[in-house]
């Protein structure tokens, strides 16, 4: 009897061990000379919603051109993204889209992943979705830098035209080309969720139909456009994120901590105390903030009958999850609705990067580039204790709705625009 029990125990252990390789993800990484010129740590991070984790780590010795990581991720799902971060040389954040049981080979230089095998999603990401867009983004960044430095009005107009042309290509032509070549539901969902700014609703609907026909057994595809609502980050996730910021700060020399807020004078505090938060029926006075091209864009310059003032920030996940709905609402009510997206970001480069990633430049993007007192004044006036927070204005610029999500926004506009 004892022998039988022992054999059952051993067999169960064998079966448990045998199950792991089926779920285990293996990364075989080869690095160039400029990455292994000094010893450093390499971290494998994962993230889904607001939850981030360190999956694995290893030490890459000086002159060591390869390493392997093997791990089973118990909570691996459709929405999880992974990335590798090098503490000294090499990419700070090379994204990976992985599945259970994959055996992935990566070639990495100081700029990022140059070759990937063993993962169809990674291939599609680096060859189509991101790969072909890198050169266009670099050109846009370069022209934007020149635009901000020049004062010649003629040159400014020419640069703006060039930037808009490149951005249009990035937003519409490249994604449509990508859709023809994507074979995985994850990448199709990713590209579709990022949106096709300015594209007719008919085009978007047809792509959704194609996706659902192409991937009939994928639950997330069939549920589209439903998106999960994630709980706030746990204490563990916050510690992981803090570690990531420490690595970036050490590498770049830049502090990723929030800047110390300057103290307000007694007079300023008294002025803030007198401000009453706006409510439905109140008229919004003209606002004016700096746009993407460095020029102020005022609320009074917008001539559509309806305006949605949307307060957001690059670090706000729920804010960015609203972007596809906002883009769709503005596209569906073109000429009737303008989304005036007001960023609370203090770091302009992160603001610009978020807009590029979310492909949301067709919204009227502005940033509060003002003193701390002005920021506090805006926050008090609009009752901003959390974001996202938005205000729908009518043709007289009176508030007719507050905190209206994208799907409700379209229904509201449908009634108003009959």
Q: What is the pLDDT of residue 173?
A: 76
Q: What is the pLDDT of residue 86?
A: 96
Determine which helix (DSSP H) or strand (DSSP E) holds 291, and give its type and residue range.
strand 288-291
Q: Tens of pLDDT along 211-234? A: 999 999 998 899 888 777 788 889
Q: Tens of pLDDT along 328-387? A: 888 888 889 999 999 998 888 888 888 887 888 889 999 987 677 888 888 888 888 778
What mean pLDDT, rounded, does the chain reach? 83
Buried b (16+ CB within 10 A) or exposed e, 56-95: beeebeeeeeebebebebeebeeebebbbbbbbbbbeebb
Determine which helix (DSSP H) or strand (DSSP E) holds 319, and give its type and residue range.
helix 317-321
Q: Tens of pLDDT along 2-58? A: 455 555 454 554 444 444 567 899 999 999 999 999 999 999 999 988 899 999 999
**289 beta partners:** 297
Pairwise CA distance, residues 130 & 124, whole Å: 8
How do strand 288-291 and strand 51-60 relate by DSSP bridges? unpaired
Q: What is the pLDDT of residue 64?
A: 97
Topology of the domain comprising 262-416? Glutaredoxin (3.40.30)
Q: What is the pLDDT of residue 213?
A: 93
pLDDT over threshold 80, residue 257: no
Q: Tens of pLDDT along 280-314? A: 888 998 888 988 887 889 999 899 999 999 999 88
pLDDT over threshold 70, residue 131: no
| DSSP conformational letter for 230 | P
pLDDT over threshold 70, residue 92: yes
Spatial CA neighbour of 334 closest among 310, 362, 357, 312: 362
What's CA 174's distance to the chain center, in Å?
Answer: 18
- Could you give the percent of the chain with pLDDT greater than 70? 88
Q: Tens of pLDDT along 146-198? A: 776 777 878 877 887 787 788 777 767 777 778 888 889 988 888 777 656 55
- Could you give the percent of the chain with pLDDT greater than 90? 30
pLDDT over threshold 90, residue 201: no
User: Tokens in use for 38?
Assistant: 């000094």
Boundaries of every domain in the chain: 23-118, 131-223, 262-416
Pairwise CA distance, residues 224 & 207, whole Å: 12
* Domain at 23-118, CATH from 2.60.40.4150, 2.102.10.10, 3.40.50.150, 3.40.50.2300: 2.60.40.4150
pLDDT over threshold 50, residue 268: yes
Q: What is the pLDDT of residue 366?
A: 93
């Amino acid at each position: 009897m004892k022998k039988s029990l022992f054999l059952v125990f051993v067999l169960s252990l064998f079966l448990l061990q045998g199950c792991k390789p089926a779920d285990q993800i293996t990364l075989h990484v080869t690095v160039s000379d400029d990455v292994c010129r000094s010893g450093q740590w390499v971290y494998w991070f994962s993230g889904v919603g607001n939850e981030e984790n360190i999956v694995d780590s290893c030490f890459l010795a000086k002159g060591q051109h390869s390493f392997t990581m093997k791990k089973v991720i118990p909570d691996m799902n459709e929405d999880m993204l992974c990335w590798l971060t090098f503490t000294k040389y090499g990419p700070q954040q090379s994204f990976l889209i992985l599945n259970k049981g994959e055996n992935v080979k990566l070639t990495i230089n100081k700029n990022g992943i140059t070759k990937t095998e063993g993962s169809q999603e990674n291939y599609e990401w680096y060859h189509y979705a991101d790969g072909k867009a890198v050169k266009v983004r670099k050109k846009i960044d370069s022209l934007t830098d020149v635009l901000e430095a020049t004062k010649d009005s003629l040159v400014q107009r020419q640069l703006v035209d060039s930037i808009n042309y490149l951005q249009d290509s990035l937003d519409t032509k490249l994604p449509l080309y990508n859709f023809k070549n994507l074979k995985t539901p994850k990448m199709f969902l990713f590209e579709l969720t990022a949106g096709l700014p300015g594209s007719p609703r008919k085009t978007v609907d047809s792509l959704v139909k194609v996706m659902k026909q192409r991937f009939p057994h994928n639950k997330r595809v069939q549920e589209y456009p439903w998106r999960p609502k994630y709980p706030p980050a746990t204490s563990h996730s916050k510690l992981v994120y803090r570690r990531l910021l420490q690595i970036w700060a050490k590498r770049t020399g830049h502090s990723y901590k929030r800047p110390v807020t300057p103290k307000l004078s007694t007079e300023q505090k008294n002025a803030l105390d007198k401000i009453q938060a706006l409510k439905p029926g109140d008229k919004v006075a003209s606002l004016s903030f700096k746009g993407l091209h460095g020029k102020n864009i005022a609320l009074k310059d917008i001539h559509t009958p309806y305006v949605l003032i949307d307060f957001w920030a690059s670090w706000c996940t729920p804010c960015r999850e609203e972007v596809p709905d906002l883009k769709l609402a503005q596209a569906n009510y073109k000429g009737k609705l303008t989304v005036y997206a007001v960023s609370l970001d203090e770091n302009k480069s992160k603001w610009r990067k978020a807009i590029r990633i979310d492909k949301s430049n067709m919204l009227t993007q502005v940033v509060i580039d003002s003193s701390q007192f002005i920021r506090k004044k805006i926050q008090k006036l609009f009752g901003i204790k959390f974001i996202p927070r938005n205000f729908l204005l009518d043709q007289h610029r009176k508030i007719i709705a507050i905190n209206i999500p994208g799907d409700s926004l379209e229904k509201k506009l449908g009634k108003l625009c009959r």
